[in-house]
Amino acid sequence: MRKLIIAVAISSVLSFSALANTLPKVTIFGTGGTIAGEAKTTTDVTGYKSGEIAISTLIEAVPSIVDVANVDGIQIVNTASANITSEILLQMAKKANELLKKDISGIIITHGTDTTEETAFFMDLVNQTDKPIIVVGAMRPATAISADGPMNLLNAVKLAANEDSVGRGAMILLNDYIGSAYYTTKTNAISLDTFKARDQGYLGTFADGVARFYFDASKATGKPNFDVSKVDELPRVDIIYGYQDMKVDQINALIDAGAEGIVIAGSGNGSIPTAVKDKVIELNKNGFPVVLSTRTGGGFVTHKDYAIGSGTLNPQKSRIMLMLALTKTKQLSDIEKFYGTSKLN
């Protein structure tokens, strides 16, 4: 009987190993955020400290991941997403593209939700393959009584391992919804249902633990691609929030501090006070890029004769786009094409 039990046990191990060898390979980059957050009580969902739990611990907390994919984790940083820098973005981009060219199905980035859309947008623009990059997070810390991180992470692994994810660009996954990184933005400070693309909609959803896409794979219209493999430093681009009686002092100060481009979150269709507009016109004539976006949270900022209209991109995504555009060209007319707002458009 004992020999039989041992034989069955060995057979089970061999079967599991054979199964594991056939599963897709997925790599998870850990950067911290709420999904790796820790609070003093299980009911505290706002007064927690981000980036306290290692990526290895997050993976271990979801044992069913091993049934979906062969997963390994790389701790890039462990911090709040407000601390993600251009240097970290470049580091992740280069590492992701190196791995995606090998025998893996996709990359997952665990990330704080406050700046998820910026990292996801950046990774969407610099991915040199058709393989998926999934940015995932949580709105409640890992210590919360109803933490959303474990399910989000499991779904992210399923999404990265899914052949139907190929060709859809980078995606943001939270609360069972799959969003295009190019369009998706955070719309609520604390709600679980915060990431949305109001005009463009979701790519799909998770139902019964399965990714169900609404459309065939496609990419955002006019989306550019940037190869940052040889880029060691991204140009400095700053954002200024527009308001009544706005002065030009901030613009001058940022240029003096070394800004190579500026994004203004204007009112309405990128409108700014006359005094500021005069300064922008001057900068435009001198070849200094100023992008006019909108503080409204949505809509299309159209072509301007004196500045670059941001199109569908909000201020934070406009900044990422301008940083990458400046690695290719300094010509304002060429930069404007990346936003899809050239006069001919």
And the tokens for 108? Answer: 């997952």
And the tokens for 336? Answer: 């404007």
Question: Which whole-number Å values give the CA distances from 170 to 53, 179, 338, in the listed order?
Answer: 25, 9, 18
Question: Residue 331 region, left (φ>0) first, then alpha (ψ -120 to 50), else beta?
Answer: beta
Strand positions, DSSP E, 216-315: 237-241, 261-266, 290-294, 308-309
- Cα of 287 vs its chain's centroid, Å: 30
Could you tell me which residues come within 8 angstroms of residue 149 by beta carbon, excluding any fewer than 6 positions away? 34, 35, 36, 58, 137, 138, 140, 141, 142
| Measured CA angle at 49 (ends 47, 51), to 5 deg | 150
Q: Rounded to an integer, what distance in angstroms lies between the CA atom of residue 320 and that of residue 316? A: 7
Residue 310 in contact with residue 295, Cβ under 8 Å?
A: no
And the tokens for 91? Answer: 């580091």
Q: Rounded to an integer, what distance in angstroms lies between the CA atom of residue 222 and that of residue 205? A: 25
Which active-site residues does the annotation give? 34
Q: Rounded to an integer, what distance in angstroms lies between the CA atom of residue 273 and that of residue 345? A: 26
Q: Rounded to an integer, what distance in angstroms lies between the CA atom of residue 124 and that of residue 93? A: 10
Q: In degrees rounded to 5, what are phi and psi of residue 195?
A: -90, 120
